[in-house]
Structure formats: C-alpha cells, structure tokens
C-alpha cells in the first residue's frame, strides 16, 4: 500500500489527536452490511437476492462495478427501503453512531466492515449524520412524490431520540448532529414538504444542525436559473438557523458556471466534492470557482474513496495535486468517508490511503482534522 518505506515510517510516527470530527457521512452508507442484512431479515424485506453473500456483493461499493455517481447511488434505494420506518431508522442511527465511535479511527480489514485488532488511532467524538427522512417512508422509489407507509414525523423523531439515547449512553463522549438532505431527484413539491417538516422539528430538537443537497447531479444539475431559485426557496423555507452544505461539482453534469451560480444562490458555508472548481484550475487555469470558495471562506468536504469510486477523481496522484491547489488558495478542507459501510472504509483508512500514496502530508492531515472541528455545525464542544 505504501509508496515507499519512508512513508510507512512517517505514517507510524504521526501523533494523532485523541478525537476527531467527521462531517460528511450518510446514514444510508453508515450501517455495516452485515447489520443491514440483519435489519432486512428481521423486517422481512423482500428482494434480498440469493442469500447473504449475494446481498453483500450487491451492496458493496467497489471500483470493479462503479464508474459514475449514478452507478454509485443506484444501491441507495435498496438501503433506504431497508432503513424505512421509525424502528429501522432508530436502529440505523444507533448503529451508525457506534460504528463511528468504535471503528472510525481503526484501519478496516474485514470484508463485512470488521475493524483490525489494533487500537484505534483516534475516536470520532463529533459526528454529523445526514439523511433524507422522506426517503425512509417506505416509498423510496417514488422519490417523495407520494406518502409512503410510514409517517415522516415519526421518522425524524426516531432519529432524534436515537441520538439523545446515544448521547446519554456514551456519557457525552460522542456528540451527533443531524443534517437533512434535500434531493436533486425529488420534485419541488416533495422538497418543500420536507423543508416544512424540518422547520417544525428544528424548533423542537437541538440535534438538528444542518441542511444538505444530495442525489444525482444528472437528475437536476441546477444549470437552469429557475431551478436554482426553487432550491433557494426550499433552503430558506427550512429555516435560517441551520448550517448549509451542498453536494456540488462532483460530476460533469455541473459545469464551472453552474457550480459558481449554485454556490452564490444557496450560500452554503461548506461544499462537498467541489471537484469542478479545482479541476478547472488544474486543467484550464481557470481559478473562478476556487476564488468563490476562497472569498466566501467555504470549507470543502473531501471524501477520497468515494471520489475515486464515482470517477470524480481518477487517481490518488490527482487527489494529491488537488489538495496542494486548495492549500495554494488557502481554501480549508476536511476529510470524511461519505458511506463508510458501503465502501468498507473508515476515516483512518481514508487518511492512510491518501498518505500512503504520498498525496498528503502529516501537517495537511492534522490541519484538516482541526478544520473539521471548527467548521462543524454542531455547537462547540464544552
């Protein structure tokens, strides 16, 4: 794995902080595959394939079968169906928090997401978990167009109560915040319905900390001004007191102009996978996207394996070059796993992967961990 022996030694010599903050994790990608299987069997979900091995094989996101974001996201419908309803959401949130705390700092070695026997390098003590409650109502294939079997209020309440229980159980050693994702693949009406729910629940539950825009960029690139306006209405409708991050610029469906206009319209303080901005500079010398990030002091959420799997970034070498460009423009960035369980990875594994290729230094890693803590939507740790 390591490019040379010096890098291997340097990795061993890193002085890790005791705890870390992870900002970009989807609930759908956070339940280890074997646990997802258990939930599906318990609840009698149909269409699990020809048994456990086939289920694992189908859901695992690996480079042999995936080359685009659309292919990467294909499996989410199935996961969201398994996680539908208040009971499954509650269980999934509890498992996701445990996974972060116990395995976030370990180097993953097992096929089903089992961690190594060695001590964790650090503990995830602050976690931002994002999901779309409308896609947990049991009608995920309808993309929120029709109500599903389950009540969305019960789903939000189940997630919030799972967080409260974990907070008590862990004696505050892991703090979790919820981000709600609007869908590029959902209708305006469905996103509005979700925004109204978020506004109401935000007044009741302090664990709700932010908003996100997710889903395939091919469904709605927001290149059309009227679409951007509609999305702005949705974000505004959800309420003014929530942090804003958006997935934007991960695929060729979002060009640099659309990237800039989307950021200017939705005014996020963080963006996920802003690849088009950094690629436009590296390949064409166009720094317009990076300047917008720089001027607005926007933090970039980077997810190494996920970006490689979707083909957003073609190699670890390219990734390393992008990191240096962000530094050149003094644009803050953080590292996260995106979907640790579906990719069978952890934050520690992601950092090791990039470090082993020579794509990042110890100083850059430690700075990124500090940035994550500072740019979190969670209230400052007491």
Please say which residue, 27 or 356, places its beta carbon nearer to Zn ion: 27
Q: In the bound complex, which residue of the shown chain has the CB atom lying closest to Zn ion?
A: 338
Q: Does 128 participate in binding Zn ion (rule CB under 5 A)?
A: no
Relative orientation angle of helices 86-103 and 152-169, to the nearest 10 degrees: 30
Within 13 Å and on the Cβ side, how many CA atoms surround 51?
A: 1
Minimum separation from the CB atom of position 247 to Zn ion (A)? 6
Rounded to whole angstroms, how far apart are CA atoms 293 and 307? 19
User: CB within 8 A of 31, min separation 6: which ones?
Assistant: 39, 79, 83, 92, 95, 96, 99, 341
Please say which residue, 22 or 91, places its beta carbon nearer to Zn ion: 22
Residue 339: phi, psi to the nearest 5?
-140, 70
Tokens 């490019």, residue located = 3
Q: How far apart are the first and last CA of the chain?
A: 38
Minimum separation from the CB atom of position 102 to Zn ion (A)? 22
Minimum separation from the CB atom of position 215 to Zn ion (A)? 10
Assign 15 to helix, strand or coil: coil
Minimum separation from the CB atom of position 26 to Zn ion (A)? 6
Minimum separation from the CB atom of position 196 to Zn ion (A)? 24
Q: What is the 3-state secondary structure (H, E, C) of 218-259?
A: CCCCCCCHHHHHHHHHHHHHHCCCCEEEEECCCCCCCCHHHH
Are 368 and 334 spatial neighbours (Cβ–Cβ below 8 Å)? Answer: yes
Are 302 and 273 spatial neighbours (Cβ–Cβ below 8 Å)? Answer: yes
Please say which residue, 143 or 270, places its beta carbon nearer to Zn ion: 270
Please say which residue, 22 or 338, places its beta carbon nearer to Zn ion: 338
- Binders of Zn ion among 317-346, rule CB under 5 A? 338
Minimum separation from the CB atom of position 338 to Zn ion (A)? 5
Assign 206 to helix, strand or coil: coil
Please say which residue, 338 or 350, places its beta carbon nearer to Zn ion: 338
Please say which residue, 338 or 373, places its beta carbon nearer to Zn ion: 338
For residue 170, the Cα-to-chain-centroid distance in whole angstroms is: 23
Minimum separation from the CB atom of position 130 to Zn ion (A)? 7
- The strand order across the sheet containing 299-302 reads 19-26, 123-131, 175-183, 208-214, 243-247, 270-272, 299-302, 333-335
How open is the CA angle 74-30-10, to the nearest 5 degrees?
110
Please say which residue, 60 or 120, places its beta carbon nearer to Zn ion: 60
Minimum separation from the CB atom of position 308 to Zn ion (A)? 14
Residue 328: phi, psi to the nearest 5?
-55, -40
Are 100 and 25 spatial neighbours (Cβ–Cβ below 8 Å)? Answer: yes
Please say which residue, 36 or 121, places its beta carbon nearer to Zn ion: 36
For residue 217, the Cα-to-chain-centroid distance in whole angstroms is: 15
Assign 111 to helix, strand or coil: coil
Rounded to whole angstroms, how far apart are CA atoms 313 and 310? 8
Minimum separation from the CB atom of position 24 to Zn ion (A)? 6
Pairing, β 270-272 against β 243-247: parallel
Please say which residue, 217 or 338, places its beta carbon nearer to Zn ion: 338
Minimum separation from the CB atom of position 178 to Zn ion (A)? 15
Please say which residue, 91 or 338, places its beta carbon nearer to Zn ion: 338
| Binding residues for Zn ion (CB under 5 A) | 338
């Amino acid at each position: 794995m390591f490019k040379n022996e010096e890098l291997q030694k340097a990795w061993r010599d890193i002085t890790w902080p005791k705890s870390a903050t992870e900002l970009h994790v989807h609930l759908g990608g956070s339940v280890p595959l074997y646990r997802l299987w258990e939930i599906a069997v318990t609840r009698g979900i149909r269409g699990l394939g020809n048994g456990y091995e086939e289920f694992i094989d189908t859901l695992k996101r690996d480079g042999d079968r995936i080359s685009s974001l659309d292919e990467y996201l294909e499996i989410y419908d199935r996961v969201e169906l398994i996680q539908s309803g208040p009971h499954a959401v509650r269980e999934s949130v509890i498992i996701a928090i445990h996974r972060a705390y116990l395995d976030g700092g370990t180097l993953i070695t097992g096929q089903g997401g089992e961690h190594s026997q060695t001590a964790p390098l650090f503990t995830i003590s602050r976690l931002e978990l994002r999901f779309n409650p409308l896609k947990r109502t049991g009608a995920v294939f309808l993309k929120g167009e029709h109500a599903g079997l389950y009540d969305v209020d019960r789903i939000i309440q189940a997630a919030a109560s799972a967080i409260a229980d974990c907070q008590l159980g862990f004696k505050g050693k892991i703090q979790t915040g919820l981000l709600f994702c609007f869908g590029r693949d959902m209708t305006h009406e469905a996103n509005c319905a979700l925004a109204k729910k978020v506004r109401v629940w935000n007044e009741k539950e302090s664990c709700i900390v932010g908003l996100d825009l997710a889903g395939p960029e091919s469904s709605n690139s927001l290149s059309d001004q009227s679409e951007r306006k509609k999305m702005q209405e949705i974000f505004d409708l959800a309420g003014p007191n929530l942090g804003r991050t958006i997935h934007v610029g991960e695929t060729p469906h979002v060009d640099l102009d659309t990237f800039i206009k989307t950021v200017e319209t939705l005014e996020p303080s963080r963006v996920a996978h802003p690849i088009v901005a950094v690629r436009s500079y590296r390949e064409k010398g166009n720094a317009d996207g990076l300047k917008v990030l720089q001027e607005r002091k926007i933090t970039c959420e980077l997810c190494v394996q996920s970006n490689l799997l979707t083909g957003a970034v073609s190699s670890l070498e390219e990734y390393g070059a992008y990191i240096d460009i962000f530094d050149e423009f003094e644009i803050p960035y953080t590292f996260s796993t995106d979907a640790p369980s579906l990719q069978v990875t952890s934050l520690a594994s992601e950092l090791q992967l990039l470090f082993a290729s020579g794509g990042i230094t110890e100083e850059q890693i430690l700075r990124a961990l500090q940035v994550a803590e500072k740019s979190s939507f969670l209230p400052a740790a007491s």
